[in-house]
Amino acid sequence: MSNEGKKVKAHYRGTLDDGTQFDCSYDRGEPIEFTCMAGQMIPGFDAAVKDMVLGEKKTVKIPAAQAYGEYNPQAVQRVPVANIPNADQLPVGQTVYFNGPMGPFPAKVVEVDSEYATFDMNHELAGKDLTFEIELVEVEG
């Protein structure tokens, strides 16, 4: 029976191809709650949960295109430091937030020199295939 449109709770462990864990609901002690196939989750995770039964555990490999998308080189932007207040204080290697038409969005500070600051606005997991161990712990409806 399909879980599409139902509120579900799932525990998960997410890892990269090299085995590095990037997220884990078990570590937080609380499953994630979402409406299945409502676009609240990455497409591959939604699809994996859609046909699971209560109590089922499965491991799925989700290609980048079905996760956080392919890495987009056009999402790396150079901005003149003259246009950025306190540009010399930008934390290279860390994430800052810009205000956009749809609210704040993150950008990683890649480099700052005397003329430009370079920002990468790709999601930190863009371009990466992800593996999830998923356990369906609750289904409403």
Q: Tell me what percent of the chain is helix, strand and coil, each rounded to the nearest 5.
A: 15, 40, 40
Domains and CATH numbers, the chain: 6-69+125-139 (3.10.50.40), 73-120 (2.40.10.330)
- Determine the Cα–Cα distance for residues 33 and 59; give it in Å rounded to an integer: 18
pLDDT tens per residue across span 41-77: 999 999 999 999 999 999 999 999 999 999 999 999 9
For residue 99, name the pLDDT band (cuts at 50, 70, 90): confident
- Determine the Cα–Cα distance for residues 71 and 76; give it in Å rounded to an integer: 10
- Are 137 and 32 in contact by the 8 Å Cβ rule? The answer is no
